[in-house]
Amino acid sequence: MKKRILSLSCTSLLLFSLLCGCSGVESLAQRFLVQEAPPEDYTAQEDGFRYVKSCLTSQEQYIYDQLLAGIRDHAESIDGIYPDVDMIRKAAQAISRDYPEMFWFSGSGEIETTYLGSTPTESSYRPVYAVTPQQEPELQAQIDQWAQDCFATIPEGASDYDKVLGVYRYIIDHADYQSVNNNSILNIMVGGAGLCGCYAQTTQYLLNRLGVPCTYISGRANGESHAWNLVWLEGNPCWVDTTWGDPVFEGGNANDGASYEYFCITTTDLLRTHTIDPEIPVPDCTSEDYNYYRRSGLYFDSYNKSALTAAIQRAVEAQEKQVFLRFSDDIYVAACDAMLNQGQLHSIFQETAAAQAGIIDWQGELWYSKNEPMNTLTLTIPYR
């Protein structure tokens, strides 16, 4: 933050002295020069679903709207802001989280405050822009085409759940997890690669365009900074981590397709591996109605070989490359032991209609992966 000192000329000092005495100079100057505080009863401008803004105080929302108007216009400097640096920073951060479509804004800026003696009088915010106004139309056209291609894979009249699933799969199929300089949607929707923040912003951008409320959330996972999404389905909040659904993130094969341990999960499940930053209040996600495993008949609270055989057969009929299984806390260890250590996995595959028809080779090596915190087992289907 830059600090600018405002001084009065000798003539002004003399005038104030004659009128009020020397002790009145600073108080009169403050009365005329200090920026008025934002109204505590401010009614914020509405512009679709902007979750982080809704978590701000009325005064912070006032500054938010000031900054937003300038950033939209590519203003070099947004002046006349109440000189509360914390509120300005908070409002700017909220805009960067709420507006993934403003890809020209880097999410950062410089705050410059003017002082009268030791009293701050007003602040200016100088946004840092990632692209110029001249570059925007071409980039926006590429973003629109990418979004259109994504939406074309989602059936007309799809439920909100299927919209989220379609966006989730499309991003994973068309993005690579790679290091980039910022969290803009440009990285994935134009460049084809990005880090977790890019995945989260792209998910948010596409779902909001589809009318599904979605916001950007940050925290930590595996001991590192991380970003993912909070999504509302039929009014019920749930967590979606598109990055962790991409096998490339864990060094896997991009051809394996998406995994679903972190798709529409509860807070209890999320906290097995993630920590949520406390700065933004979030609801407790408790609904299991949108969990992929439960919704797809792939969640098991007992070890039933026939049910597992049926799940594998359904995956084969759907021409899936993998079958995803999740077990309750009570039986996960025992189920994995029975299938992987006691050799029952071969017999489960053998009993499928696909094995009887010679579509899959159950006698050879069987490949699998485990996610112990989430109690999941992913099996690669051994097609001939």
pLDDT of residue 21: 43
Q: Is there a contact between 329 and 368 (Cβ–Cβ < 8 Å)?
A: no
Nearest CA among 32, 31, 33, 81 for reference residue 59: 81
Distance of CA 141 to the CA centre of its chain: 23
The CA-CA-CA angle for residues 27, 59, 236, to 5°, reads 165
**pLDDT confidence of 1, banded at 50, 70, 90?**
low
Q: Is there a contact between 258 and 172 (Cβ–Cβ < 8 Å)?
A: yes
**pLDDT confidence of 26, banded at 50, 70, 90?**
low
- Tell me the pairing of strands 274-276 and 299-300: unpaired
Q: pLDDT tens digits for 113-138?
A: 999 989 999 999 999 999 999 999 99
Q: Is there a contact between 66 and 127 (Cβ–Cβ < 8 Å)?
A: no
Distance of CA 179 to the CA centre of its chain: 17
CB-facing half-sphere around the CA of 38: CA atoms within 13 A: 25
In whole angstroms, how far apart are CA 154 and each of 148, 150, 377? 10, 7, 27
**What distance in Å separates the CA atoms of residue 376 and residue 340, rounded to the nearest whole number?**
13
Q: Is there a contact between 125 and 84 (Cβ–Cβ < 8 Å)?
A: no
The CA-CA-CA angle for residues 137, 165, 257, to 5°, reads 95
Instruction: Identify the H or E element spanning 28.
Output: helix 25-33
Q: How is residue 223 written in tokens?
A: 């001991």
**What distance in Å separates the CA atoms of residue 188 and residue 201, rounded to the nearest whole number?**
10
Q: pLDDT tens digits for 67-120?
A: 999 999 999 999 999 999 999 999 999 999 999 999 999 999 999 999 998 999
pLDDT of residue 257: 77
Q: pLDDT tens digits for 180-228?
A: 888 899 999 999 999 999 999 999 999 999 999 999 999 999 889 999 9
Other CB atoms within a 10 A radius of the CB of residue 133 amount to 10
Q: pLDDT tens digits for 363-380?
A: 989 999 999 999 999 999
Residue 19 has pLDDT above 90, yes or no: no
